[in-house]
Amino acid sequence: MFSLIPSLFSQEKGQDSTGRTLPGIKAKNDVREVKYQSATTSQDMMELTSEGGKIVLKPETVPEFPGGPSALADFIKSNLRYPKEVIKQGKYGVVVVQFTIGVDGTAFNPVITLDKVGNGADEEVKRLIQLMPKWKPATLQNTPVIVTYTQVINFKKQNTNTQD
């Protein structure tokens, strides 16, 4: 099961919707989130300092994986390789990854925000994001923009794909 989940962060406090302080969040401008509302002012953007662009928080249209959500689920299912340690230790669960989708549709800068699996699952999810084909980018005023996307990856016991 794979799903898009919105990032629910308090920009003022650097906390998620449950009030937990987010690791690595030092200041208001460190928080990244995607909201699906129209953006009309520069306040709806923030610096992505590592890439020199701006992440749009409120795009008019959201990014789309080629073929839509079912194609994204198929891509993940067919390309996800379970680390041998995950299978050996029998520890399964979810990994949540946030990544950036550029104006050209490239998925980059994967950041693991939750790893309930361990044993190399985080590195596998990062590898998976780097394999993704180009997305249809998000837009603002009919112009492609940079956004952050959050994806939940389930590591389930029945999957037999392993890393070599």
Own/partner contacts of 123-126, CB < 8 Å, gap of 24 or more, are: 123/83, 124/80, 124/81, 124/82, 124/83, 124/163, 125/95, 125/97, 125/153, 126/97
Q: Which two tokens stand for residue 98?
A: 């946030």
Tell me, what's the pLDDT at 163? 60
Tell me, what's the pLDDT at 54? 84
* Stated pTM of the model: 0.67
Question: CA 33, CA 100: separation in Å to the nearest integer?
Answer: 11
pLDDT tens string 68-107: 999 999 999 999 999 998 889 888 899 999 999 999 999 9
pLDDT tens string 38-58: 344 444 455 443 445 788 888
Question: CA 25, CA 14: separation in Å to the nearest integer?
Answer: 6
- Closest alpha carbon to 17 in 27, 29, 26, 5: 5
Whole-number mean pLDDT of the chain?
76
